[in-house]
Each structure stands twice: as structure tokens, then as C-alpha cells.
């Protein structure tokens, strides 16, 4: 975790020193309430304390060293209305430590409601974290106000992949793409025109001059999506969050967009956080995959490794559920995990996946929250089946405490969605 009060911001995982000061005490502190000396504390899911000890298997958690965007121990809690007088708390993110390296594509996969979009928005400071820090290019942007965020807003962008609702139908494509530059105060019409043309060419809307004159309604869904990407690209960002809606119906147009984004990443060195529900496409278009479940990253590693050698039972279930085109599929039932992801409003104790997990260890999984920790170098998992994930020695017969929700009063609550 980076120092919040003074000092030079340092990317996650490199700060020497002990466990971070907990801002939010609600994450599971397993096995009694005091951290045992010499054992990584699971507080906030932060790896900062452990990361400083060389040779500690818990260090790293698959995090890159050249982080462009880094989230450390990020929690986001939304207050929701439940009836007239009661309010509920939804823990959209529950202790996420994750970094996107310069020029890489990191895919976030998981079910809807697992916190993917919230994570993407927090990384852009479009949603404020309840606790934890967000760093961009070494600078702590967690507490910067809108007035100081200008530079960041230009360098980090979001692309909405809903081709139907995200573009003003009354504006020509050229004006839609120029709009961010107008907002940024680029007055020179020649420069604007040049940058719009370059952005349209980058997304292969060719000839750019012809597409500039069109209205969104005169274009196909795939072309409209490209306009959305051009709007982000025109600012020449280093980091783009690409959020793919579950309802995005057409498989072939999805691949077209992923292919385009991959080209931009390879050609221009843009870093992408690619949000998707499809682990098969993530395997081909991302460098690394982070699997999320109920507000937590449960597995993180190189894309091929996560798919070929999934460690977490949830990742294994996700992969087993992918329908590959195989005519013998129809003669066998799929192995499925029972039930559905519970809402983030009532998080299970211990491992968030334990109510559905076919391999849960009674007395452990329902009690102690597993930590995201390297199982092999660069491949991290948060599951008690892997020793590195279990915080500290488990005293025999101990009744570990799950403090989730116990001290929510100390939390600074984030904005209501």
C-alpha cells in the first residue's frame, strides 16, 4: 500500500514496512482478532505487509512490477435503500489489490454482480473507494478532487460497448469524436480535425472523412462501437477500461471489437482493463486474467495459465461451463456448480464461494477468508486448497472470527449508485 500522508507514492508491492493502517476494519481478520507476528495479515486483503518480506510465498499475488494503475486494498460499499427507514450496505468490492501494467491487457472475468464494473470505475476514479488507494503512474489519485484530476481524466478513459445507448443520435460522428477535445479546450480546429481523423483511422472507420459525416443511426452496431472507441482514443490515453455488457448479443461483433482493441494495445501500447463474462475470449485477447467473485479477486495469472490450469474451484466451474462447439456436447450433461452467486448485500462468511463450492472444507472455508497469494510465481489464488492462501497457522479447534459487517460504523461510505 502506498503512503497516503506525504512521501513519494510508490507502486503497490514495493513499499517496505509493516501492514498498512487499516482504514476499514471490516474485512475478515481470520483466526482470533490479533495478527500473529511473522504472518501476513489478511487485513483488507492487502498484500503490502507480506510483499516486503523476500521469499514469502504470499508476496506478489501475481502483481506486475511496472504498474500503471494500481488498486490497493480497495473496498467499495454502497448504501442502498431498503424500504422507508432501513438502509442496506452492498459491498461491491471487498479488499481488492490489483494492478494493470503498462501496455498490458488485463481481463476481468466473473458473473454479473461480482464487482467488475465497479472495479473498472474505481480505477478511473469514477467511483470513490470507501477505503484503500488508487495509484496512477506512481501518483496517489485516491483523494484528488475533480479540480486536480484533469491530467488523469485525459490519460485514463472508459469505453462503453453498448452500441445503442451511448452515442447521441443527433450528432455526426466527426463531432462525436471531437467532443472530448472540445471539452479539453483544444481550440485549434486543424489539430482537432487531424486528431479525429487519426482516431477514426485507428478504429478502421475508413475512409475517415466519409464516416465523419455520418450519424450513428446510419451505421451498424459494430461501427457504432468503433465510434465509442474512437472517442476514447482521441485523447491519446495510456489506459482504457473496456466494459462489455452481458447482454452484448452478437458473438462475432464481440470478437471484432476485441481484435481491434488488441491491435491498439499492441500497436500503441495502451493498457486495457477488459471487462467480460467470457473467459474463452479473455484467454485469447488478454495477457492476464483476474477472476472475480463477490467483490474479490479469487484468481489471477497469465491468461493461458488460468485457462489451462485453473486453480480456484470457481474458475474451474466457469471454464467447465463454456460451451465449445462440439457435437458430442449434447450427449452429456455439464458439470455445474449449484445455486447462484448471492447478492453482494449479504456476503457469506469466510470464502465468498463456499456456499456453492463442491470442495469446501467445513470449519475452514465457511470461517476464514482465504487470501489472494501466489501459488506459483505469477499465478495467484485465494482458496484454502492452496496453503499460501490460508492466513497463519490454524489453531486446532479454533473458532475463527469473521468480522464482516461487525464494525461498519468506522467506514466512510461511498456514494450511492
Partner 1 sequence: MSFPAPAARATAPSAAEATGMPAEARPLLEVRDLHLHYRSAGRTVRAVDGVSFTLDRRGEAIGVVGESGSGKTSLATALMRLLPKSVARFDGQILLDGLDLTALSDEQYRRQVRWRRIAMVFQGAMNVLNPVLKVGTQIAEPLLLDGEGKLDKAAARAKVGSLLERVGLPRDIAGRYPHELSGGQKQRVVIATALVQDPDLLILDEPTSALDVSIQAQIMNLLKDLKEDPGISMLFITHDIGLASDLCDTIAVAYAGEHVEFGPAERVLLEPQHPYTRLLLRSLPRLHATERPRPMPGEPPDLTAPPSGCRFHPRCPSCFAPCPTEHPSAFVLPDGGHSRCWLLDADKVAASRASGAAPGGDAG
Site string for ligand SF4, 302-331 (x = CB under 6 A): ----------xx------------------
Q: Check residue 370 for interaction with ligand SF4 (CB under 6 A).
A: yes
* Binding at 319: pick from ligand SF4, partner 1, none (beta carbon under 5-8 Å per type): partner 1
**Cβ-contact 92, 99 below 8 angstroms:** no
Instruction: Decide if 44 contacts 404 (C-beta within 8 A).
Output: no
Which of partner 1, ligand SF4, none binds 385 (CB below 5-8 Å, type-dependent)?
Answer: ligand SF4
Judged by CB under 8 A, does residue 334 bind partner 1?
yes
Chosen residue from 242, 357, 372, 400 binding ligand SF4 by CB under 6 A: 357
With respect to partner 1, which residue has the nearer C-beta, 194 or 308? 308
Q: Quick one: cell of 172?
A: 455526426
Identify whether the C-beta of residue 73 lies closer than 8 Å to the C-beta of residue 20. Answer: yes
Of the candidate residues 47, 230, 317, 364, the single one contacting partner 1 (CB under 8 A): 317
State in angstroms the smallest separation of the CB of 334 from ligand SF4.
19
Distance CA 216, CA 269 (A): 28
3-state secondary structure of 48: helix
The distance between the two most distant Cα atoms of the chain, rounded to a whole number of Å, is: 73
In the structure grid, which three cell numbers stand for residue 266, read together?
A: 499492441
For residue 320, state whether it binds partner 1 (rule: CB under 8 A). Answer: yes
DSSP for residue 331: G
Helices (H) and strands (E) in the chain, counts: 11, 12
Nearer to partner 1, 153 or 262 (CB): 262
| 387 makes contact with ligand SF4 (CB under 6 A) | no
| Residue 354 touches which member of partner 1, ligand SF4, none, C-beta under 5-8 Å by kind | ligand SF4
Cα-trace Rg, the chain: 22
Contacts of 25 (CB under 8 A, 6+ apart): 43, 403, 407, 410
User: Cα(92)–Cα(95) distance, rounded to whole angstroms?
Assistant: 10
Contact pick of 124, 353, 374, 392 for ligand SF4 (by CB under 6 A): 353
Instruction: Give min distance, CB of 305 to partner 1, in A.
Output: 13
Chain centre to alpha carbon of residue 70: 10
For residues 99-138, which are near partner 1 according to CB under 8 A?
A: 111-112
- Pick the binder of ligand SF4 from 361, 394, 401, 403 (CB under 6 A): 361
Peptide bond into 207 cis (omega under 30): yes
The residue ranges that bind partner 1 (CB under 8 A) are 111-112, 220-223, 246-247, 249-253, 255-256, 259, 262, 277-281, 283-285, 304, 307-308, 317-327, 329-330, 333-334, 336-337, 340-341
Amino acid at each position: 500500500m502506498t503512503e497516503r500522508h506525504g512521501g513519494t507514492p510508490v507502486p503497490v508491492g514495493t513499499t517496505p514496512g509493516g501492514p498498512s493502517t487499516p482504514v476499514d476494519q471490516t474485512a475478515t481478520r481470520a483466526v482470533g482478532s490479533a495478527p500473529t507476528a511473522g504472518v501476513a495479515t489478511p487485513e483488507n486483503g492487502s498484500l503490502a505487509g507480506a510483499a516486503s518480506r523476500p521469499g514469502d510465498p504470499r508476496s506478489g499475488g501475481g502483481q506486475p512490477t511496472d504498474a500503471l494503475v494500481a488498486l490497493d486494498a480497495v473496498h467499495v460499499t454502497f448504501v442502498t435503500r431498503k424500504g422507508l427507514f432501513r438502509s442496506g450496505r452492498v459491498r461491491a468490492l471487498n479488499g481488492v489489490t490489483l494492478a494493470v501494467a503498462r501496455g498490458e491487457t488485463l481481463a476481468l472475468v466473473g458473473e454479473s454482480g461480482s464487482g467488475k464494473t465497479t472495479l473498472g470505475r474505481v480505477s478511473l476514479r469514477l467511483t470513490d473507494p470507501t477505503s484503500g488507494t488508487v495509484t496512477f503512474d506512481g501518483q496517489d489519485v485516491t483523494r484528488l478532487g475533480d479540480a486536480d484530476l484533469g491530467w488523469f481524466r485525459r490519460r485514463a478513459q472508459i469505453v462503453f460497448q453498448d452500441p445503442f445507448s451511448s452515442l447521441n443520435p443527433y450528432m455526426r460522428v466527426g463531432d462525436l469524436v471531437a467532443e472530448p477535445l472540445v471539452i479539453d479546450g483544444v481550440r485549434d480546429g486543424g489539430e482537432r480535425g487531424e486528431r479525429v481523423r487519426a482516431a477514426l483511422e485507428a478504429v478502421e472507420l475508413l475512409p475517415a472523412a466519409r464516416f465523419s459525416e455520418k450519424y450513428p443511426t446510419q451505421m451498424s452496431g459494430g461501427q457504432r462501437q468503433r465510434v465509442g472507441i474512437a472517442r476514447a482514443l482521441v485523447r491519446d490515453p495510456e489506459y482504457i477500461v473496456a466494459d462489455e455488457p452481458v447482454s452484448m448479443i452478437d458473438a462475432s461483433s464481440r470478437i471484432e471489437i476485441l481484435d481491434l482493441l488488441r491491435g491498439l494495445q499492441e500497436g500503441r501500447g495502451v493498457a486495457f482493463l477488459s471487462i467480460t463474462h467470457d473467459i474463452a475470449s479473455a484467454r485469447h485477447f488478454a495477457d492476464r486474467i483476474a477472476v472475480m467473485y463477490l467483490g474479490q479477486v479469487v484468481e489471477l495469472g497469465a491468461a493461458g495459465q488460468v485457462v489451462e490450469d485453473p486453480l480456484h474451484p470457481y474458475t474451474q466451474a466457469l471454464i467447465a461451463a463454456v460451451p465449445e462447439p462440439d457435437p458430442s456436447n449434447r450427449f452429456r450433461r455439464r458439470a455445474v456448480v449449484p445455486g447462484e452467486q448471492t447478492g453482494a448485500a449479504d456476503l457469506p462468511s469466510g470464502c465468498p464461494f463456499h456456499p456453492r463450492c463442491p470442495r469446501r472444507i467445513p470449519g475452514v472455508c465457511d470461517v476464514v477468508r482465504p487470501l489472494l497469494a501466489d501459488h506459483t510465481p505469477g499465478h495467484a489464488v485465494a482458496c484454502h486448497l492452496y496453503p499460501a492462501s490460508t492466513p497463519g497457522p490454524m489453531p486446532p479447534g479454533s473458532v475463527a472470527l469473521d468480522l464482516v459487517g461487525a464494525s461498519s460504523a468506522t467506514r466512510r461510505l461511498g456514494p450511492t449508485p
